[in-house]
Amino acid sequence: MEKKKALAAVMATMLIASSLTACGGTKDTENMDASQTSSAQTQAVSLDGDKTTTVKTVKMGDNDVEVEVTDIGKTGTFTFWSAYTGDSAIWEQKRVDAFNEAYADLGIKCDLQFVPDGAGINNGKLLSAIAGGTAPDLIVTDNSISCYQYAAEGSFMGLDAVLDEIDLDVSSFFEGCKDVMYYNDVCYLIPQDTNVIMLYYNPEIAKECGLDPENPPKTIEELDSWSDAMAVKAADGSYDRLGIVPWLDSGNDAFVLPYLFGADPYDKTTGKVDLTSDKMLNYMAWIQGYAKKYDPEKINAFTSGLGQMFSPDHPFMTGKVGMTITGNWFSEALKEYAPDVPYEVCAVPVPEGGRANSTTFGTNVFAIPAGTDPDKAQLAALFIKFAEQGSINEDNFSVWRSIPVIDAAFDDVSLTKNGDEMYALV
């Protein structure tokens, strides 16, 4: 257990990269009358002033979970924009339903609205809402990078005071998360979880090609060798299967592969983007060489009809590729859409001088838009505190295999306790 905590803490010091997206729908949540709630209060503990916390049992989907509920002496409804879609939206609805059940007798309700494109960040909807005074009271987005622009332009509320008011201790987060949370020494963003990038490979395809699935590639040269062995050409010269297409899935992220090659695309000391370092040029040469080797036109033809991450037509699920570079969430996609497809995971191979056995990590973040009513901001902060609890995140981790951002949360992660192979890797 301590070893896994230490590994996660080390991972949390790495470069922040963008991650987790899916696709979705909407479901209304009805307010619950206090007399109808099934929450069972099991313990009450006094906090400072007029605040108290109570432990209750609520439903998280089909499961009963114990949660801490903080009474700050305020009531009301706050609006929450969630970027999650598809399977992620289903999980989000369960989380909000659990919150509303827990806080029903206190007169607090979360009004959940699913807003795609990063909770309106990617398409300007959120910025327009902030300017027009119609913004939500809370968002969660998968676009943590763009959030810095919002913070720099004053579009998000500083959270230090409101978090202190509801007793959420930001010092409990891993030190590496602080780069995500703070802009100019003010806390604007709260990470929900972190994700790790790995190489997924099909062991049956590896065996078919004379490769040893128990000894996956560790270097770029070995990865290239595996890719060559897995490639299958049709009679007309097109490809029926490729070993790996490096720019599919997470390989398409501007930070992921350059970082693993040892490059630092962004220099924190100078505040400038660096695209001309030797290691960055090494990465670019590898990508270009791969394209030339397999013919850009043939690769484009091969990839033109491939399915997306959460689709049974994803090329890894259909056997069109034998390997792909992506995050921990892909394990749930495989379980849901291709349960019979075997897979193994390992650290992404790197060249000499690269960051071996390493990963970038991505994070989904909470933020409160500027101009939010102070009372509603406190209610929104209560949801953030609720969402960071180990019992709530346990469901998150068991589905998506994400990594906690708070050390204590590991105590509630059954995958760690049960020796889950993927958690053992990361």
- pLDDT score at 80: 99
Given this model, what pLDDT does residue 33 score? 40
Q: What is the pLDDT of residue 424?
A: 53
CA distances from 39 to 34, 36, 64, 223, 383 (A): 9, 9, 10, 52, 17
For residues 143-158, one letter each, b for 16 or more C-beta atoms within 10 angstroms of the residue's C-beta and e for the rest, the string is: bbbebeebbeeebbbb
The b-or-e profile of 261-281 (16+ CB within 10 A means b, else e) is bbbbbbeeeeeeeeeebebbe
Strands (E), 192-343: 195-201, 232-233, 239-241, 266-267, 272-273, 323-327
Specify whether the CB–CB gap between 382 and 108 falls below 8 A. yes
pTM over the 0.85 mark: no
Residue 218 host element (H or E): none
User: How much is the pLDDT for 141?
Assistant: 95
Q: What structural domains and CATH numbers belong to the chain?
A: 2-194+363-425 (3.40.190.10), 196-361 (3.40.190.10)
Q: Dihedral sign, CA of 193, 399, 20, 352? A: positive
Per the CB < 8 A criterion, the answer to whether 193 and 364 are in contact is yes
Q: How large is the angle between the packed helices 86-103 and 390-400, nearest 10 degrees?
A: 160
Q: What is the pLDDT of residue 177?
A: 83
- String of DSSP letters for 159-196: -HHHHHHTT--GGGB-GGGHHHHEETTEE--EE--BEE
First-to-last alpha carbon distance for the chain, in angstroms, is: 12
* CA–CA gap between residue 67 and residue 96 (Å, rounded): 13
The whole-number pLDDT of residue 111 equals 98
CA separation for the pair 357, 372 (Å, rounded): 43
* Residues lower than pLDDT 70 in the chain: 1-49, 400, 407-426
User: What does the alpha-carbon distance between residue 3 and residue 5 come to, in Å, rounded to a whole number?
Assistant: 5
Provide the pLDDT for residue 12.
Answer: 40
Structure confidence at residue 63 (pLDDT): 87
Structure tokens at 10: 């080390």
